[in-house]
Structure 1
Amino acid sequence: MTRPRIAVAAAVALAVLGLSACETRTGKALGSSAQAAGEGKVVESAVSLAVAPLGVAIDAVDLLFNGFKGETATAIRNSLPSDSAVPSPQIAQDTKAPPSIVVEPVGTTTEQVVEIKGAISSQGKITSARINGTDVTVMPDGRFAVRRGVQLGDNVLQLTATDEWGQTSETTISVNRQVAPDQSRLAALVPESLRGAPRPQSIAIIVGIQDYETLPKAEFAENDARRFYDYATNALGVPPDRVKLITGADARLITLRKALHNWSKPLIVRGQTEVFVFFAGHGLASEDGGELYLLPYDGDRTLLAGSSLRRREIVEQVTEAGASSVTLFLDTCYSGSARGGETLLAGARPVTIVPKAEDLPANVTVFSATTRDQVAHSLPAARHGLFSYYLMKGLESGAVDVRNQVTAESLESYLIGAIPAQAARQGGRQMPQMAGPGTSVIAKYSP
């Protein structure tokens, strides 16, 4: 081996070991020998390799020492670190995921304030959560629920969450607030959805008179009667062949009396038959207020006793026949005014007659559309009488209690809550009344 090549190899080895050629005599000698041999560029390259990772330097030494023999090569190799001592390169990586946000959609609303609910999950602690810059409280399990005001139209709420490592996630919540629907658009009546407990022994008489022979019109009264027929069969559980429906010109006094005397009495089983009577039309009280009359199609307001049906007569006929209970629903008033505000009495102005209270047997319940000096209004938006509409809505759902039944008490409570408010919206006054045992069951549904 020539001296210049030995010098080059030695320089490489010393460089790898971190020794400066000027710090040892051997280094000086080797450097001088290399320069003398014209190998300066080789030494420079070898020294440059020494600053590279040791594994690369060792490969370079192997290349330079290729074919070297003897003690010199062995000494140089023995002076180098072993491969096991060469550290592996490390690349630092952040594998922590940012917070994850899940929000329940809000969508469209008519409310001024909406509730935003969801959950935030993270590998670390959530240090802050905000909606449009306002802090949100996050529970230890990550859940949150906040209320925020929204304006009409489209609203965009930005929710951001930050964890303990400063990582932030965000999501957008879209809310569209619309104008609340017109309250005059009343819900449709849906008696077909009802399945009341059957009452095979019960009977029902239903009367509705809109266009009278000589009296002002009772708006929508026949609609009331025809619709109540479905509630009698579906909600009250009366068999269809035990329901007597009488409307319009058919509802003459003689026809009503025949329904009470000739039709109902043979069907009543003493102590077992429940009787329901529904009447929508005009009513009047006697001049002294002692008697309450239901006016048939051919009723004459100047001859009440001879042309009209006393309310007391209805109760007497069915109770004497042995009915176990009697329930009357009367969408009429006795104040002398019609549903449309016209007077039923002679004269240029309405005259109000206040009837006296009427004693009732213990098994009789009477629901009346108004107190004794008010007008029973119609409800044009529903094309029904105001009382009739809410009576049927109460049977449908509004008055159903926790036992899945409608009692006289729960129905009265519902009617008192609904009817006066609607009458006030129409510019009138109307307070329904109930007389009789509040515990009587009007309708019962399966769970």
Structure 2
Amino acid sequence: MLVLLMSCSSDCLVSSIEWNTLASFYNSTQGSLWATKTNWLKNDPCEGRWYGVSCDPQNTTTLKLALSSNGLNGTIPSSVALLTALSSLDLFVNYLSGTLPPQLGTLKKLTYLSLTLNRLSGIIPSSFGELSSLQSLLLCYNKLSGTIPASLTSLPDIQLLSLCSNNLIGTIPLNIGQLSTLKTLILSLNQLSGSMPSSIGSLVSLTRFEVQNNKLSGTLPSTLGSLTSLGSLNLSNNLFGGSLPIGMAHIFNLISLSLINNTFCDACFPFNYTISSCHVEDVSFLCNCSFKPCGTTKPCISNLSCPLSVTPSPSIVGIPNPSVVEISEYKNTQSKVDGNLNISTLVLINSSLIVSGEVVGIHSNLSLSSGNLTILSGFTLLQSILNMSLSSTIIVLGKTSFSTVI
């Protein structure tokens, strides 16, 4: 049903422009079919308490429009930009289609914009970077395309940026690190590519970072270790490779980590603290051993596809001063530990490892099963062994070798 635009009666406190703007929004989003439309188009929007409309204390202008989960259809009219005092526009979970009006970028007092779970298409207007008061931008679960506008990195007060589950392409903006107030960044379920910009390390307030299910590649920047406030990190289902930045060992607030389906070439997690939720399935290393979640003082190397190189001890695979090292299903013949391993227990299962220094320990336990252990600098290994278990193993000490079958 089309409602003709008309002005409010003379006793209305809001301007006729604002009344007609709200009426236009009602028409454009098929207001007659809304789930709730109490008092709409009846007298004054503020004093008449139109459903979802909040006004200033004087009832002269609209400050908030909250119509989430209300069955809105149709398009967002560009005339919404005439609500110049608007601080919050919440249209979450509706059936809105069409494109995002660039005119919304003129709403200088807007702090909250949520259009998540609609059917919006087209690009994210670059004018959204002019929303100088914006703190939260939520555009997830739409059909938006194009790139992430570089202008969004100019939002001075943004704390929540959520663009997940769209069809966005291109790279993460190089200047993303300019968003110094950002606490949550969710870019998952898009088609983003390229590497993670090093400026990401400048987001010192970031507590949640999700980029899973994209096409991001390359090694993670060392600056990632600067995100010391980070509590949740999801990098799964991308094309990341190389080593995890050793600086990640200092993200002590990290409680949730997902690295699923990447090609990282670390021997184990470089964390010396416990992560309560850790998912590492289908990566090139599986270091859980018997410890769940990951993050333990017992480093382990399992099913690793790339060379291990540790220089020097007492830090191995990112865990300082380990006392127990477990290596299983590891047969990369190029791998070598440079330096001494001052540990109490070494477990080698169906694996090969070369140590250029010595394996020593005050009370050492050696357990080898179907393995190949080479100690290049000699016999110190045997001098402090208290318990030895050997099964189908080849040991090379300097130039001397012997095998065992037990």
Q: TM-score, normalised by structure 1?
A: 0.19
Higher strand share: 2
Q: Greater RCO between the two (CA within 8 Å, min separation 6)? A: 1
Higher helix share: 1
Q: TM-score, normalised by structure 2?
A: 0.20
> Max radius of gyration: which structure?
1
